[in-house]
Amino acid sequence: MDEAIKIARSAGILGPSVMGSPHAFDMEVRVGAGAYVCGEETSLLNSLEGKRGIVRAKPPLPALQGLFGKPTVVNNVMSLASIPVIMDRGAQFYRDYGVGRSNGTIPIQLAGNLKHGGLYEAAFGMTLGQLVNEIGGGTISGRPVKAVQVGGPLGAYFPPSLFDTVFDYEAFTAAGGLIGHAGIVVFDDTVDMLKQARFAMEFCAVESCGKCTPCRIGSTRGVETADKIARGIEPEKNRQLLADLCNTMKFGSLCALGGFTPYPVMSAMTHFPEDFAPTPLVEAAE
């Protein structure tokens, strides 16, 4: 990126007079510490200002008061990467890819228990089953697929019964999931979905910026509650408590870190209830 910027500046594409025009446009690379929560736009702005990556309360939105208090537009890399082809081939060319309101292509990361993991660019419109079985080649273990997590570590888990879900934003929202950054992780039938739900809560607890109570405390209590279910301690009561925690986090968190953590937890509880009904504790022999 730094090398590309040097080339652009030397060619007059960046700088105080773009291509000899009176317009100024420049780019600068800032390297952050790699905090997951800085994927949230206001945490990112704090990081750019040299502050700790903590979520800001909204309003005001960054478009009104962002970097150093100035109006700021925040875009992700996928949005920016789509600009060259649109500029070169036109908007209609880009819109011809995709389906419904989900236009263009998206970089999809296939990972986990797959024969052909990797990074693929595909148009919206394929089904989840096609992505897993045709592009990914099915499980590398040869065992049946049990769950597929879509959208990153805070994405929902989909069972094979939902493999006909079209890979676009609207279809996944309707199915109770999210596309997120389009990461797809495949698990075969040996996975324990209670452990996966616990991992989501643990991930949130570790990565939380700590500003809001639902995310900071809810995720910690979520780990404890999942452990109680695993140990057979009042499983029905604790399953309800876990669902209540998810509801509080979803609607009470300041940003999507806490707000999206319920997706993997609730989808695991909904689609794989058998993994949340462990054998009761066996008392140790005297």
Contacts of 56 (CB under 8 A, 6+ apart): 42, 43, 45, 46
Q: Does the domain formed by 98-188 have CATH 3.10.20.600? A: yes
Query: How high is the pLDDT of residue 278?
Result: 58
Confidence bin at 286 (pLDDT 50/70/90): very low
Among 102, 99, 103, 131, CA closest to 117: 131
pLDDT value at 205 more than 70: yes
Model-level pTM? 0.85
Can you name the CATH fold of 2-80? Rossmann fold (3.40.50)
16-45 pLDDT tens trace: 999 999 999 999 998 888 888 898 999 999
As a whole number of angstroms, the distance between CA 193 and CA 264 comes to: 9
244-284 pLDDT tens trace: 999 999 999 999 899 999 999 999 999 999 999 855 544 44
As a whole number of angstroms, the distance between CA 176 and CA 149 comes to: 12
Q: Where are the beta strands (DSSP E) in the chain?
A: 98-99, 102-103, 105-112, 118-123, 145-150, 156-158, 183-188
Do the two domains 98-188 and 193-276 of this chain adopt the same fold? no
| Neighbouring C-alpha atoms within 13 Å toward the C-beta of 108 | 27
Enumerate the domain spans of the chain: 2-80, 98-188, 193-276
Domain range 193-276, its CATH number among 3.40.50.300, 3.40.50.620, 1.20.1440.230, 3.40.50.720: 1.20.1440.230
As a whole number of angstroms, the distance between CA 109 and CA 95 comes to: 22
Mean pLDDT, rounded, of the chain = 92
- Give residue 213's Cα distance to chain centre: 21
Contacts of 234 (CB under 8 A, 6+ apart): 228
Mean pLDDT on 112-125: 93
